[in-house]
Amino acid sequence: MAPQPAPHVAVDHEITVRRGHFWIPGERVETAHGTVQRAPMFVHWEAPPKTAHPYPLVLVHGGGGQGTDWTGTPDGRPGWATRFVEAGFAVYVVDRCGHGRSPFHPDVVGAMGGQFPYEAAKALFLPDEVRPEQTQWVYEREIGSPHIDQLLCPMGPLPADLAESQRMDADRLGRLLDITGPAVLVTHSAGGPVGWLVADARPGRVAAIAAIEPMGPAFAEFPGFGKLAWGLTAHRITYDPELHRPEEAENADPATLRIPALAGTAVAVVTGGSSAFAGFAPHVVDFLNTAGARAQHVHLPEYGITGNGHGLTFESNSDHTIKPVITWILDHARRSPRNGRHGH
């Protein structure tokens, strides 16, 4: 394989941005060694010199990854975060609690799950058998490929308690929306449940949700990972009538599972044509619409974009997969959410 040019040589365009970073603090915890902080959330933000749209975007990565999932691709191209800024949006990219630059100490945060292995990444992002064929991963597919090395490098362990991981994320993201004002959530994979929980925590601050390949279907169990015990979330979400135990939700008539915080919220469930997640996406959409959301399935082949797997945000045609998402956001996040305010 020919050596790649240094990134500062290879990139052939310029973009002027404003950028910065901060943290959403975690709880202060007393330990034998002093007072420490539990699971802060790192936030990186970028914006063009003048934003063109009323709502900023909050980008929430999936399980095991980190905010860099949005900022670049395994072959070194700009990621969706850059493309959103070029389209005139302010973006806030988070490292979920215990991921990336958000520190993890098991004595304080809780038990740490296993390291993310190459084999799991290949099964999720580069399955050997998939129909229709995944054509947008154009690099070597075997362990040892430098691009698969790049895919794996940012993937670390998750908190072992999936419900508590989602609770912490939703708490910190809710406080982020207290700072930004109303925003559009753009989630990926295991970040999807966090989007529903943030809407539950701050219903007046979520202008819309674009859920890219979200976890599902409702009440699914993922061996070694956890269960969506409350429907589309592992952590408790608020139903009306109120439910007190996850078993009540799973045993209820699905037609009765209303989530007040999602009422009227525009949601896009975005899937690639060669992803296993596309198979259950209609069930996720149905669950959300029953809950009260205005959800639709944005399946990329219906927009002429084919061959994408679960990692459609960083596959070879990522500059194309983002286009229907931008169009959808512009079409569905025009009205201010209730009790919200502008500002970013």
- pLDDT recorded at residue 8: 65
- Is 305 a member of any domain? yes
Residue 296 pLDDT more than 60?
yes
For the four alpha carbons of 174, 177, 182 and 188, in that order, the dihedral sign comes to negative
Decide if 233 is inside a domain: yes
Share of the chain above pLDDT 70, in %: 93
324: which DSSP letter?
A: H
Least confident of 118-122, 181-185, 232-236, 314-318: 118-122
3-state secondary structure 157-194: CCECCHHHHHHHHHHHHHHHHHHHCCEEEEEEHHHHHH
**Does 8 reside within a domain?**
no
> What is the reported pTM?
0.94
Helix orientation angle between 192-201 and 162-180, rounded to the nearest 10 degrees: 60
Say if residue 2's pLDDT is above 70: no
- What gap in Å lies between CA 229 and CA 167, rounded to an integer? 13
Nearest Cα to Cα of residue 322 among 79, 47, 3:
79
Per-residue pLDDT tens for 52-67? 999 999 999 999 899 9
Give the CATH number of the domain where residue 313 resides: 3.40.50.1820
What is the reported pLDDT for 128?
85
Please give the biggest Cα pair distance in the chain: 61
- The secondary structure of 226-286, three-state, reads EECCCCCCCCCCCCECCCCCHHHHHHCCHHHCECHHHCCCEEEEEECCCCCHHHHHHHHHH
Gyration radius from the chain CA atoms: 19
Q: Distance between alpha carbon 31 and the CA centroid of its chain, in Å?
A: 32
In a domain? residue 158: yes
205 close to 183: Cβ distance less than 8 angstroms: yes
Write down the mean pLDDT value for the chain. Answer: 93
Q: For the chain, give the percent of residues with pLDDT over 90.
A: 84
Is 194 part of any domain?
Answer: yes
Q: What pLDDT band is residue 344 in, cutting at 50, 70 and 90?
A: very low
pLDDT at 141 over 80: yes
Question: Minimum mean pLDDT among 143-147, 159-163, 316-320: which range?
Answer: 143-147
Q: What is the pLDDT of residue 287?
A: 98
Q: pLDDT tens, 92-139?
A: 999 999 999 999 999 999 999 989 999 999 999 999 888 899 999 988
Q: Is residue 140 part of a domain?
A: yes
Cis amide bond preceding 217, omega within 30? yes
CA 84 to each of CA 78, 93, 122, 323, 335: distance values in angstroms, whole numbers, following the listed order: 11, 11, 28, 10, 20
Kindly state the average pLDDT of the residues 195-203. 97
Reading the block at residue 232, the tokens are: 């589309």
Q: Is the pLDDT of residue 342 over 80?
A: no
Q: Output the pLDDT for position 4.
A: 66
pLDDT at 5 exceeding the cut of 90: no
d(CA 34, CA 28): 10
Q: What is the pLDDT of residue 47?
A: 97
**Count of CB atoms situated within 10 Å of the CB of 150:** 16
pLDDT value, residue 9:
67
User: What total of structural domains would you count in the chain?
Assistant: 1
Point out which residues pair with 24 in neighbouring strands. 41
The SS3 call for residue 99 is coil
Enter the tokens of residue 165: 């991981």
Over 90: is that where the pLDDT of 12 sits? Answer: no
Answer whether residue 5 is part of any domain.
Answer: no
Q: Does residue 53 fall inside a structural domain?
A: yes
State residue 258's pLDDT score.
98
Mean pLDDT computed over 84-93: 97
pLDDT number for residue 340: 42
User: Which are the contacts of 53, defined by CB distance < 8 A and separation ≥ 6?
Assistant: 88, 89, 329, 330, 333
Residue 140: pLDDT band with limits 50, 70, 90: confident
Sign of the CA dihedral with 85 first, then 328, 136, and 190 last: positive
CA distance 312 to 324: 12
**pLDDT given for residue 129 in this prediction:** 84
The parent domain of residue 248 ranges over 14-332
